[in-house]
Amino acid sequence: MMIQENSGLSRVEVTAAHSPLAFIYAFFTPTIAIDGQRYRRRWGTHSFDLSPGNHEISVSYPWIFSSECGKNTVQIALRAGETRQVIYRAGLIRYLPGKITVK
């Protein structure tokens, strides 16, 4: 996918998901952090317009004794006008990092 090249921006689409077996996660709002800037978003897919270059993306969710349970981080490089997808899936064991992939 591409966004308008003349805008000079790139886009990242971050999907935060969990197993249907872990339905209790639905009661907690995940945090998506991009280059240290934190965004509280519902489970699902969210788009962020970014400048081209290297970016660090983390996804986590709060749990009883941790504000960043299941946290995992990925580094991505974006070219002008490019859209990349980051997919995070929380694990069934809460305190282990979730699986994160880049497409």
Q: How far apart are the first and last CA of the chain?
A: 11
The model's pLDDT over 4-31, given as tens digits with 9 standing for 90+, comes to: 445 689 999 999 999 988 888 999 999 9
The model's pLDDT over 63-84, given as tens digits with 9 standing for 90+, comes to: 888 889 999 999 999 999 999 9
Side-chain-side CA neighbours of 75 within 13 Å: the count stands at 2
The model's pLDDT over 80-96, given as tens digits with 9 standing for 90+, comes to: 999 999 999 999 888 89
pLDDT of the residue at 3: 46
pTM: 0.89
Return phi, psi of residue 26, to 5°: -60, -20
| Domain region containing 72 | 5-102
CATH number of the structural domain spanning residue 93: 2.60.40.1120
pLDDT of the residue at 18: 95
Q: Determine what percent of the chain falls in helix, strand and coil, rounding each to the nearest 5.
A: 10, 60, 30
The span from the CA of 76 to the CA of 95, in Å, is: 24
The span from the CA of 17 to the CA of 22, in Å, is: 10
